[in-house]
Structure 1
Amino acid sequence: MTNPDRIDDVDALRGFALLGILLVNTMAFASAFYGLELADPAFTGIADRTVHLVIALFFEMKFYLLFSFLFGYSFTLQMRSAEKSGEAFVPRLLRRQAGLWLIGVAHAVLLFHGDILTTYAVLGIVLLMLRNRSDGALFRLAKWLVILVAVAWGALGIVATLEPTPLDRPGILAAAKATELAFRGDWQAIISQHLTELSSVWVILGLLQAPSALAMFVLGLIAGRHKTLARPEENKALFQRLLRAGLWIGLPGAIVYAYASVEMIDSPVAIIGLSIGLITGPFLTGAYVGGVMLFLGTKAGQRLRNLLAPAGRMALSNYLAQSLIAALIFHGYGLGLIGQATPLTTVLIALGIYTAQLFISRWWMARFAYGPLEWVLRFITIWRAPQWRKPVGAR
């Protein structure tokens, strides 16, 4: 049975977010140097750096925030759904988060160490505990989460700049080459590499992404309470303000972050740029929300909604499918292209994957009520098998 509580604009935003997530994650699949303090020596030309600048400017540090905001918004939809069905919300949510965590662990071990689902699963429990706080208290929490994590990283960058330590270039090169060799291996070598990296990755996610993600969860919860995305006509002025704030605050901050992370990657100044990106990233993410919502209200926007919404309805399946396809392209059990594709080629690969997903999602959602993994997560959530196929004539 179709879900009458679904909001097409929320699904369209989620489908849009899949593009940014894919572009960033594919860059990580393509190069063992991604996230290190040294650029890949094989790709340091103007074209290569330009691609990295564009990805850092418009996509890094923004689209996981968009997903986080939508997670918080959807949290309120799940609360209303449980209320309508007469079922207790807390047990449902706990089962859902447990299922999400298990899927995330499998994703991290088998496909991509940069998995965000495990973080979302844990933060969802925190959001559950915050659900009865007032809007004002939640907004203050979100504000201070963003400020404090940015200040902490900024202070770290300043200390590192004032007391610099020599960059261990040979060590970084050796580590990157060892990682690349592992990812060119078989299943066992790749899983072993993922397990080796997981502890450090989870620490970084906890210190870098988790506070900002929780802040966006909270803002999404506030927006969901007021049905902001379900009432686009009433909230046009808000969307316009978000767009302006993103252009005046978010974009300049993103420029600083992008330049520092690409052109000054081997300098402690890159950490200061990161801190600026952390504090201004939510503004650019807000601009994406406002801009997309305003565009969806136009005639052309209706066509875009029809294209993006099916992908958003099965975002979990698409997210993991992106990792599977990228792994088959860049890892050793597939084409083994890690370290060989230029940044531009990598972007084109990502765009090809995304385009295919848009059309496959439209075909799938015309026939089925859930994406494959959405069905699994729904089963865990309600603890019974949901209807798989759509009834004849259902949207």
Structure 2
Amino acid sequence: MTRYQSLDAVRGFAVLGILLMNIVGMGLPAFAYMNPTVAGGDSGANLVAWALAYVLVDGKMRALFTLMFGASLLLIADAAEGKSPGAAGTHYRRMFWLLLFGMIHAWAIWFGDILVTYALAGSLAFLFRNMPPRRMIGTGLVILGLLMAWNFMGHFHFVQMRALAEAPGAAPELVAAWKTAYAELAPSGAAVAREIAGYRGGVMDVFHIRAETVIFFQTFLIPTNFVWEALGFMCIGMALFRLGFFTGAWETRTYAKLAAVLIPVGIVFGAPLAGKLWMVRWDPVTTFATDALAIPVHLAMGIGYAAVVIAIVKSGALKGAVERLAAAGRMAFTNYLGASLITTTLFYGYGFGLYGRFERAELYWVVFSVWAFQLTFSKPWLDRFNYGPFEWLWRSLVKMELQPMRRIA
């Protein structure tokens, strides 16, 4: 299979960048990811940290990571053509094992797993792999457009529900229904305290409190939201791969121009959304609307960030940094799971028990430390071995035989 340094470097950038948002759900109560007033601080450096992450990172790195998954899907499927078990056989074996890895990751390590979503969306995306690129892009945009409409429907549903409950003389059943619904959208102080206590407890305490969130993710959020967002981005990622975007086939100045347009446009449209959330104190009903409006922003900035990295790769600048970033990308599966293992051990009670003890801004020192470890560790590992540890395991399971691990001089 052909390796493209541009593809590896962008994947490395994405897997490192996604930790900037995941760290909040790892070290603080789950709802703090969306609402800084829940935990971690919402003023001073913590407010700045939230605002910068929301405008520059939140959803953008997930979009980029998912675009890359679509590109990699095609790269591997194309390489499997004409070989046993074929492109479809190889792909669906990969998705089966990815689903299993994701379930283990979600239930035993961290609730915010993305692998289950990728396995499900990837199984659907494969059906579109022979489409012309323009139709892939169109399909992806239609899926994302429908998802935006779904989120707007949720927003208007809760707006109406709240208005009816708060109207003078509202029926008791309407008031009760709104209180029940709002409790699902915004946890009480008691619920947050219970979550913190659970994650600071032993192995079974952590398991039980994590299981509640995993069930919500896997029975509601994944089937109604996450899998469709991922499918839309994957279709566009596959199209960009076919068009030569991710392989560096375009001119360097084209990538630079694309980045110079898409990233500022994303900031211009994303910053007002952050401002609106701050003004309404992160009202969960408003979040449905801002989530919908943010989807095209995530896509634009995800492509823009990829264009920046590819332009740097093609220019030949920062060779040492690019090599380490590409190595981190070649080990993206190991680095993604490894980050979860490191951070949950640091935060959870069966490890160092630091859950909920850091403010939001302080969490980024943990991110920088994990980055330093991964960038330092990935290249020397790949100088000696063919794959990262989890890449080797995944490949061996798909091939149904142990793959050669150590590099031959």
Q: CA deviation at 1:247?
A: 1.9
Which residue is 1:31 aligned to? 28
Which residue is 1:51 aligned to? 49
Please give the alpha-carbon distance, in whole angstroms, between the structure 1 residues aligned to 2:286 and 2:401: 53
Are the structure 2 counterparts of residues 235 and 134 from structure 1 closer, same or farther at C-alpha, using a change threshold of 3 Å? Answer: farther
Please give the alpha-carbon distance, in whole angstroms, between the structure 2 residues aligned to 1:298 and 1:94: 37
Please give the alpha-carbon distance, in whole angstroms, between the structure 2 residues aligned to 1:34 and 1:13: 28
TM-score normalised by L of structure 2: 0.88
Alignment of 1:146-161 (within 5 A): 146-161=144-159
- The worse-fitting range, judged by mean Cα deviation, of 154-163 and 64-73 is 154-163
Q: CA deviation at 1:288?
A: 0.6
Please give the alpha-carbon distance, in whole angstroms, between the structure 1 residues aligned to 2:379 and 2:373: 10
Q: CA deviation at 1:102?
A: 0.7
State the AA in 2 paired with 1:81.
A
Which residue is 1:197 aligned to? 213
Q: CA deviation at 1:79?
A: 1.9
Are the structure 2 counterparts of residues 170 and 311 from structure 1 closer, same or farther at C-alpha, using a change threshold of 3 Å? Answer: closer
Q: CA deviation at 1:171?
A: 5.2
- The worse-fitting range, judged by mean Cα deviation, of 269-278 and 346-355 is 269-278
SS in 2 for 1:34: helix
State the AA in 1 paired with 2:273.
Y
**Could you tell me whether the CA contact under 8 Å between 1:239 and 1:291 is conserved in 2?**
yes
In the alignment, does 2:324 pair up with 1:326? no
Please give the alpha-carbon distance, in whole angstroms, between the structure 1 residues aligned to 2:316 and 2:81: 35
Are the structure 2 counterparts of residues 290 and 170 from structure 1 closer, same or farther at C-alpha, using a change threshold of 3 Å? Answer: closer
Alignment of 1:316-395 (within 5 A): 316-392=333-409
Please give the alpha-carbon distance, in whole angstroms, between the structure 2 residues aligned to 1:238 and 1:15: 18
Are the structure 2 counterparts of residues 137 and 46 from structure 1 closer, same or farther at C-alpha, using a change threshold of 3 Å? Answer: same
1:22 to 19, 27, 48: 19
Are the structure 2 counterparts of residues 41 and 237 from structure 1 closer, same or farther at C-alpha, using a change threshold of 3 Å? Answer: closer
Which residue is 2:130 aligned to? 132
Considering only aligned residues, what root-mean-square deviation do their CA atoms show, in Å? 2.2
State the AA in 1 paired with 2:80.
A
**Could you tell me whether the CA contact under 8 Å between 2:270 and 2:294 is conserved in 1?**
yes
Please give the alpha-carbon distance, in whole angstroms, between the structure 1 residues aligned to 2:287 and 2:22: 20
**Could you tell me whether the CA contact under 8 Å between 1:157 and 1:272 is conserved in 2?**
yes
Q: Return 5+ residue gaps in structure 1 as ranges.
A: none
Which residue is 2:325 aligned to? 308
SS in 2 for 1:300: coil
Which residue is 2:166 aligned to? none
**Could you tell me whether the CA contact under 8 Å between 2:137 and 2:236 is conserved in 1?**
yes
Alignment coverage as a number of residue pairs: 388
Which residue is 2:303 aligned to? 286
Please give the alpha-carbon distance, in whole angstroms, between the structure 2 residues aligned to 1:224 and 1:267: 37
Please give the alpha-carbon distance, in whole angstroms, between the structure 1 residues aligned to 2:277 and 2:192: 18
Q: CA deviation at 1:146?
A: 1.4
State the AA in 2 paired with 1:252.
V
In the alignment, does 2:235 pair up with 1:213? no
In the alignment, does 2:95 pair up with 1:97? yes
Per-residue deviation, residues 164-206 of structure 1 (Å, max 9, x unmatched): 3565599521111111111111111112222222121122133
Are the structure 2 counterparts of residues 67 and 42 from structure 1 closer, same or farther at C-alpha, using a change threshold of 3 Å? Answer: closer
In the alignment, does 2:273 pair up with 1:257? yes
Per-residue deviation, residues 248-269 of structure 1 (Å, max 9, x unmatched): 2x22232133334455313522
- The worse-fitting range, judged by mean Cα deviation, of 170-179 and 144-153 is 170-179
Please give the alpha-carbon distance, in whole angstroms, between the structure 2 residues aligned to 1:359 and 1:99: 28
- The worse-fitting range, judged by mean Cα deviation, of 274-283 and 82-91 is 82-91
Please give the alpha-carbon distance, in whole angstroms, between the structure 2 residues aligned to 1:20 and 1:299: 22
Which residue is 2:9 aligned to? 12
Identical pairs, percent: 23
Are the structure 2 counterparts of residues 207 and 239 from structure 1 closer, same or farther at C-alpha, using a change threshold of 3 Å? Answer: farther
Q: CA deviation at 1:83?
A: 2.5
TM-score normalised by L of structure 1: 0.91
Q: CA deviation at 1:45?
A: 2.4
Are the structure 2 counterparts of residues 390 and 229 from structure 1 closer, same or farther at C-alpha, using a change threshold of 3 Å? Answer: same
In the alignment, does 2:201 pair up with 1:182? no
State the AA in 2 paired with 1:109.
W
**Could you tell me whether the CA contact under 8 Å between 1:135 and 1:222 is conserved in 2?**
yes
Q: CA deviation at 1:159?
A: 4.1
Which residue is 1:60 aligned to? 58
Per-residue deviation, residues 21-59 of structure 1 (Å, max 9, x unmatched): 111111111111424657235623221111111111111
